[in-house]
Amino acid sequence: MTSLRPAANAHTPARTAAQTVGIIGAGVRGRTHLLSYQRLGVPTTVVSRMSAPELVKECGWGVAAADTDELFASCDVVDICAPTGSHADLARAAINAGKHVIVEMPLTGTVEDADDLLRLADARGVRLLPAHVCRYQHEYAHARGQALNGALGAVESLTFFRRTGSPVQSGWWSDPERRSDVLGHLAIHDIDMALWVAGPVKSVSAIRSAHRRGDAALDVSHVLMQHLSGTVTRISAIWGPPQTPLRSAFSFVGDRGRLTHRSDKGAALEWSGNLRERQELVPAFDAADPVDAQLSDFLQAIESGRDARVAGFDGREAVRVANAARDASRLRSDVQIADAALA
């Protein structure tokens, strides 16, 4: 097994000077996005039911708005970092106000809401961009490129692992009606990656164990996805005790070899197989923060009119598969996926 550790090439993506952003939500994701816009130099307004002024003061960036009307008036792009159950209504209001919209994953709780937003954004001529940040993590993006260019041969299986501490918050995090569980907030990262690498899914099965311990929603899910391409994806996603450190890993297996990555080993890919030029598998990586790279890509795509690395329909498909996995675990049987085309 050869360790292929990329050389770091520090770089921060250039911001798009013409864009201004309004963030809805001042929790963990709102803070992460505000700090990213600060690094990119993007003027930002923040609104939240409780803590926007405190967040702006803490980060030393942005302006707090009194309400969404004030926020909409201040920005070109709305970035929704609020609870999942509010995504559809907030995005709908922003689109109707003529704003481009970035939405933290999951895009929505239901496929029906996602379809409605896609149609509305198309009718209003604005962009709808779900924040699936793993597409901007170099190890994932490069491994996907190797899978698609044939370096692994025929891709037989994808395996993903993701574990972190359970959110210590009561209410929406553990509300099944709002799709606020480990499938909708952790496994969905890897569901999106599997779709990006191996294409549409024809069936899903899953097993899940979820319970509460105090304020923590402990949740373990294992998902098996059968792709139309013939590839099989296995995903394990775990919300453990609150102090559990974040760990992630993946393995892409083809008939010519295997690429693996473990976050606890740093920015390294491991290759097992026979290739003439092993070092070509992993060139020097751009070491930009993936959130910075994602938000910069979104803003530049909005201004230029080009495609971003992730589109609204990608977010819709991730929601569809995550919800199918939830149904499969409840029914204890495979769930067949209907055609992906919008109704």
Q: What is the pLDDT of residue 179?
A: 54
* Cβ neighbours of 194 (radius 10 Å): 25
User: Which of these three, 133, 151, 180, is where a domain ends?
Assistant: 133
Q: What is the pLDDT of residue 118?
A: 98
The verdict on 144 and 85 lying in the same domain is: no
Sheet holding 216-227, edge to edge: 2-4, 269-273, 257-262, 247-254, 155-165, 232-240, 216-227, 201-213, 335-336
The verdict on 31 and 105 lying in the same domain is: yes
User: Which of these three, 80, 107, 133, is where a domain ends?
Assistant: 133
Q: Please state, in angstroms and rounded to a whole number, the distance separating the CA atoms of residues 100 and 94.
A: 7
Q: Classify residue 290: in a domain, yes or no.
A: no
Q: Classify residue 287: in a domain, yes or no.
A: no
Q: What is the pLDDT of residue 112?
A: 97
Write the pLDDT tens digit of every residue in 12-28: 455 545 689 999 999 99
User: Which of these three, 133, 155, 189, is where a domain ends?
Assistant: 133
Q: Classify residue 12: in a domain, yes or no.
A: yes
- Percent of the chain whose pLDDT exceeds 90: 73
Q: Classify residue 301: in a domain, yes or no.
A: no
The verdict on 165 and 128 lying in the same domain is: no
Q: What is the dihedral of CA 230, 294, 285, 247, to 10 degrees?
A: -70
The verdict on 232 and 123 lying in the same domain is: no
Amino acid, single-letter form, for residue 51: S
Q: What is the pLDDT of residue 5?
A: 35
Q: Please state, in angstroms and rounded to a whole number, the distance separating the CA atoms of residues 225 and 324.
A: 10
Return the closest-CA partner of residue 206 out of 192, 189, 226: 226
The verdict on 162 and 215 lying in the same domain is: yes
Q: Classify residue 277: in a domain, yes or no.
A: no
Q: Please count the structural domains in the chain.
A: 2
Q: How far apart are the first and last CA of the chain?
A: 47
Give backbone dihedrals phi and psi of 208, rounded to 5 degrees, phi first: -150, 145
The verdict on 36 and 150 lying in the same domain is: no
Q: What is the pLDDT of residue 4?
A: 37
Give backbone dihedrals phi and psi of 18, rounded to 5 degrees, phi first: -80, -15
Q: Classify residue 289: in a domain, yes or no.
A: no
The verdict on 174 and 231 lying in the same domain is: yes
Specify burial of residue 191 (Cβ count, 10 A radius: 0-12, 13-18, 19+).
buried
The verdict on 123 and 146 lying in the same domain is: no
Quick one: angle between helices 290-304 and 28-40, nearest 10?
A: 70
CA atoms within 13 A on the CB side of 96: 9
Return the closest-CA partner of residue 192 out of 124, 238, 130, 118: 130
The verdict on 103 and 207 lying in the same domain is: no
Cα–chain-centroid distance for residue 118?
A: 17
Q: Please state, in angstroms and rounded to a whole number, the distance separating the CA atoms of residues 113 and 179.
A: 13
Write the pLDDT tens digit of every residue in 114-154: 999 999 999 999 999 999 999 999 999 999 999 999 999 99
Domain at 7, CATH number: 3.40.50.720
Q: What is the pLDDT of residue 14?
A: 54
Using DSSP bridges, classify how beta strands 155-165 and 232-240 pair: parallel, antiparallel or unpaired: parallel
Q: Classify residue 49: in a domain, yes or no.
A: yes
Domain at 236, CATH number: 3.30.360.10
Q: CB of 294 within 8 A of CB of 136?
A: yes
Structure tokens at 186: 């952790």
Q: For the chain, which residues score pLDDT lower than 70?
A: 1-18, 168-180, 214-216, 267, 274-287, 338-343
The verdict on 205 and 114 lying in the same domain is: no
Q: Classify residue 57: in a domain, yes or no.
A: yes
Q: CB of 22 within 8 A of CB of 71?
A: yes
The verdict on 329 and 215 lying in the same domain is: yes
The verdict on 202 and 329 lying in the same domain is: yes
Full residue range of the structural domain in which residue 126 is found: 2-133
